[in-house]
Amino acid sequence: MRALLVGFTPEFVDFARGLKELGWDLAGTSGTVKGLREAGIEVDQVADLTGSPEMLGGRVRTLHPVIHGGLLYRRGHDQDEAEVAEHGIARIDLLAANLYPFIDTVTKGAPSLAEAVEQIDIGGPAMIRAAAKNHQWVIPLVDPADYAPVLEALRAAAGAPGDVEAALRRRLAAKAFQYVAHYDTAIAEYLRTGDEPFPSQLTEGMTRREVLRYGENPHQRGAFYTHDSVRTPVEGIGAYEQHHGLGMSYVNILDADAAFNAVADFRTPAIAIIKHTNPACFATTPAGRDASLTALYERALGEGDFVSAYGGIVAVNRVVDMEFATALREVRSPTDGETRMRYDIVIAPGYEPDALEHLKKKSKDLRILSAPLGEPRRERLEFRAVRGGVLVQDADVQEVTRSDFQVVSQRQPTEAEIADLEVAWAICKHVKSNGVVFVKDGVLIGMGAGQPNRVGSALLCKEQAGERAQGAVCATDAFLPFPDTVQVAASAGCTVVAHTGGSIRDEDSRQKADRLGIGLVVTGVRHFRH
């Protein structure tokens, strides 16, 4: 029996020793030969098998009939057996291969195109595909985690690869083809130019981070994968680290992502409390206010939807300090002033060590996560599955500032109202479908979402805000073909309404605002989210 080992890593050493103990012959390319011989393991050079030297700067090492014939010929097939005998091709019964580090090269440095191209492996993928195709007789290995199980299976089969359980060989073959596809996906992404975001054929490289306890419902299975882009680093929830609490579920990850994305959009200190992916409470730091997370937390909770906040997800865009950790543990619900607030998750860019230990004492179940904020406005693609397909779009990274606001009403907003409109518009981006939000002094005091019509969302927002809406501003991503939403916001006490504009009935909304004596602002930018 012969094994071919290509792309030396330290894990090869113990694996090679195990194969030797089973009586196998070993062959390898120059780097593998060097590494194994230094470990005292006898191994043949591929060049000695092929009778051909490595050439073209290493571009041609294993692209040879002796190698591919040894991997691909069908054992017991009369014509194949005759041809390998005629041409002196020896069988190769196992391939363990590691590819050139293309992904590391292009993601951990700034190589030139020529340097990157030299890290595109050709012979490795060809051999892996050959071994995987012929897995009925050849064992393909691309993951060091499989070395020990394969050795165990070979020992049970008295060293004969053909006697290894067929299900194992098939699983390894599938893994090998996926490994090569993942590798090729990274190369294709790297070589694509920026003016071709949606090629006619598209694959997405992903790595399973964890198998979840279940999917959205207990009867569904679920797993969490990270996007392995060579253009965009893994940020946000994709790179989370868990420090405490129960394992994450499918819904936990959705909600934590929504919460962390909401605060990541703000440059000022911000806190969000999310329930079912929508913001129940939110606060950021207006000019002249205390910027501490604790002060923001108390304002967000006290003036927001504290009923929905119970059992929600807390996210902040600053490192959690001891004061804030204490507040999270001790602050009572505004509902009765006695019940401690309960949360499923706290997520932040980081924690002071003593704050983390203190927060762990709140509940054994509380999931405490840290994640890198990254660059929220970094260009990237978003994917959403539908039955039978996938929707792909540019991520909504456009930032709307006061320079995008066009006042169309007679009443001009004050400086404080413009500042609140910036906050309200940014929050509205994170409210799902027909979103309407009321904001006052940087705090979310009312939110309506998910209604089939914009007026329903506005009425929910008004009901939730109550008297707190007096002097607030309103932002909505809803299309306003009628002035009804303006009417509801004004009746709640809002002094300015911001919307996208663009309806042929915009003039009706402007006239309504003027009659009601409130400001009306259009942005021309929409942040509608389903």
Instruction: Tell me the catalytic residues.
Output: 133, 276
- Whole-number pLDDT of residue 92: 92
Structure tokens belonging to residue 139: 């064992």
Q: Domains in the chain, start-ordered, CATH in brackets?
A: 2-191 (3.40.50.1380), 255-375 (3.40.140.20), 398-522 (3.40.140.20)
Amino acid at 380: R
Q: What distance in Å separates the CA atoms of residue 229 and residue 226, rounded to the nearest whole number?
A: 9
pLDDT, position 528? 58
Residue 206 parent element (H or E): strand 206-211
Asked if residue 27 lies in contact with residue 162, where contact means CB atoms within 8 angstroms, the answer is no
pLDDT at 529: 63
Q: In which region does residue 264 sit, left (phi positive, over 0), alpha (psi from -120 to 50) or beta (all else)?
A: alpha
Largest Cα–Cα distance of the chain, in whole Å?
96
- Which pLDDT value is given to residue 399? 79
Distance (Å, whole) CA 107 – CA 523: 37
Task: Give me the residue label for tokens 């991520």.
Answer: 395
At residue 263, the pLDDT reads 95
Classify 173 as helix, strand or coil. Answer: helix
Give 416-449 pLDDT, tens digit per residue: 999 999 999 999 889 988 889 999 999 999 999 8
The answer to whether 151 touches 24, Cβ cutoff 8 Å, is no
Question: Which residue numbers in the chain have pLDDT < 70?
Answer: 159, 287-290, 526-530
**CA trace torsion 372, 374, 380, 381 (10° rounding):** 20
pLDDT of residue 287: 60
Dist CA 447 CA 457 (whole Å) = 8
pLDDT in tens, 75-91: 888 898 888 888 888 89
Concatenate the DSSP letters of all residues of 390-431 into one string.
Answer: EEEEE---PPP-GGG-EE-SSSPPPHHHHHHHHHHHHHHTTS
Amino acid 380: pLDDT: 85
